[in-house]
Structure 1
């Protein structure tokens, strides 16, 4: 395939976004030439394994380059060879500002970054830009495209952008994108709500995926071991797990919760654990590599994710691929992955009693754990395998580049 693709996101590689790394690797396996770009350089804490370190070493960092006056000026002089396009990008930056001095200043920072990115793409012979996370990095992608003529597409995740779609001009980004990869029907419906119907035909569904083979190992669950993987942020609902742990512990002396991840709420959660006298039952494990998470899944009784807002969490796919039963909330695109009582257990968000009841069912019923675990793996293999999703995304890149885009929302599920 002659396409040369650049991937852009705000921070790459990041420990919380390993699905982007998997997608890049799967596209390369499909035969596409893919180079990675990141607005900011990630810290060492995100380089949890050799894959992340290798990707970080090969990634172009936009902001770091833009901080060099010589390189920034050179990039804008190169862009000025198409003065009409540069001026259109300037007007677009001004027009899509959400208002206010600070926000408008950021728009001009994005414009500066767009010229640096455009020069890099031209120098590397890259012919298409794909962006993940439709906020500031997607603004840079949109301005870069207007300035250079290099087309862009993006993957729409949510949920946070759906809280401020007008601030981030989701309508403008959809209108100007070659196509949009929505991670779920729910995400696509939100895109439809904030865009002109003339553009709905280019809203396709591309799932984030996992490699089921990585998790196809004999499970050896220890008794009453709960696992949470995600950012330690308020939106994840972790304090409810502490309440469940306290109330179920008398009937399950070995009950233990391992929290994998880090975030702004870690200190307050550690303090809460001490106040509730739960420190011996909770492990704050910090960030872990993909391989380390796979190892933790081998001994987990269940993976629990009591979030208040989500897209379609990849960690659920990982657990299901490992035949680990999942307990999570009935929100956004989650029911498109987890069928309640079949491939996992769904509870209303914020309902600690329902969460406790669901976890209790799994702790008491080994047959239920086995059945939902097997069904979960079949579900991931059919609709959320990274090689299958990468082939579909590659078909979108190729079809739109050739002017004959696929007309379906997504391909048929594998069996």
Structure 2
């Protein structure tokens, strides 16, 4: 079976979970054609991402003439489907603050995508995210393309669901993947009850390389000071500024701890200013973007993951921390409580509360070595049973085989 994987940007440093999913599906015999609107090779730090570049076909970057040609061709060859797709594109644009240029561009991308489908004899399209990739897949379907599905992660998908026309995308899809039960419930809010049966849960997962902790985990539970680690894009929604406030509170309480932050983004300068202003240079390190191997090594050398996000789906970095047997401190939002169990595999705190974050970090600092190790083991078992990428890819492959080519 041949399936197109459609993503807005691929490969991408924050789309490791998509790469894992693709590779797991290929290991199970699925033929996956990678298609992205664009990419940015300069930002990539992981060799596995770099290896994906030549495998990925682009719809926008360097494709202006091809897009125009494909749009004109489909309008002449299939005028009926073209005007149906155009009508939907304009309706979507009207809901999205009248972004007509963007949605006409999506229509052109859909036309070019249809040519790839025909050339590759693709049976099904699977898009990641309910934003523009799902729009392009929907329009390609109306142009006469193959059946499609898409994975919804959140939180962006739920910030403006009406503007994203989620209901239309779900209606025309063969099926829709939600990554958590919470995610599934949010999709129920934005589609007709008759479409609820289309929504399936498939978790994001970690691979054997991340789960293999037999010979690589450092026994550093007793290391003083203990090391907290945060992984994610440096942005408002990830809550790193509150994490720095929590570190300031720990300092005021005379508690020794180290915080290592992995990632980059638009909030870096604000974080740097806060660190300087509050003299946290000795306890907080901004490490920038790191490769997968570096992330594993830094997780192994840490004690606890801290993720104080304001908006999430279910962060893959929590799965990665558990895969390396590290307890997690995170916020009581979205799908996070489905994986992190308070006092068993970590701590959950109210979002937006720096003092609660500091209290949880204090609890981790005061926890015995044996208890910290046991919490990490509990998290590891949860990921093994619920977020193993091979198991989740098997579910997804079964849905492709069941729904590809089927009108629903």
CA displacement, residues 158-187 of structure 1 (integer Å, 9 cap, x when unaligned): 112212000000000000111001000100
More displaced stretch, 209-218 vs 165-174: 209-218
Q: Which runs of 4+ in 1 moved over 4 A?
A: 99-102, 250-254, 402-405
CA distance in 2, matches of 1:402, 1:63: 27
Question: 1:58 aligned to 2:55?
Answer: yes
CA displacement, residues 33-92 of structure 1 (integer Å, 9 cap, x when unaligned): 0011111122421x212210111121011102531x256314531563222111211111
Partner of 2:383: 380
CA distance in 2, matches of 1:70, 1:346: 50
CA distance in 2, matches of 1:71, 1:169: 23
> How far off is 1:31 after superposition?
0.7
CA displacement, residues 80-112 of structure 1 (integer Å, 9 cap, x when unaligned): 322211121111111222358851121111111
> How far off is 1:212 after superposition?
4.7
Taking the TM superposition and a 5 Å limit, the aligned residue runs for 1:83-162 are: 83-99=79-95, 103-162=99-158
CA distance in 1, matches of 2:347, 2:188: 29
More displaced stretch, 211-220 vs 48-57: 211-220
Question: 1:357 aligned to 2:359?
Answer: yes
Partners of 2:114 and 2:140 within 8 A in 1: yes
CA distance in 1, matches of 2:256, 2:26: 44
CA distance in 2, matches of 1:59, 1:31: 19
> How far off is 1:351 after superposition?
1.9
The alignment covers a number of residue pairs equal to 401
Partner of 2:200: 204
CA distance in 1, matches of 2:72, 2:339: 45
Question: Relative to structure 1, is the Cα distance of residues 202 and 352 closer, same or farther in structure 2, using a 3 angstrom cutoff?
Answer: same
CA distance in 1, matches of 2:66, 2:118: 18
Partner of 1:269: 271
Q: Return the match for 1:77 from 73, 76, 79.
A: 73
CA distance in 2, matches of 1:155, 1:58: 21
| Paired residue secondary structure (2:305) | strand
Q: Return the match for 2:35 from 26, 34, 37.
A: 37
| Paired residue secondary structure (2:93) | coil
Q: Return the match for 2:231 from 229, 232, 245.
A: 229
Partners of 2:240 and 2:308 within 8 A in 1: yes
Normalization by structure 2: what TM-score?
0.94
CA distance in 2, matches of 1:49, 1:101: 37
Normalization by structure 1: what TM-score?
0.92
Question: Relative to structure 1, is the Cα distance of residues 153 and 29 closer, same or farther in structure 2, using a 3 angstrom cutoff?
Answer: same
Partners of 1:98 and 1:166 within 8 A in 2: no
Unmatched segments (≥5 aa) in structure 2: none
Unmatched segments (≥5 aa) in structure 1: 406-415
CA displacement, residues 315-334 of structure 1 (integer Å, 9 cap, x when unaligned): 00000011011100111111
Partner of 1:287: 289
More displaced stretch, 269-278 vs 371-380: 269-278
Taking the TM superposition and a 5 Å limit, the aligned residue runs for 1:331-350 are: 331-350=333-352
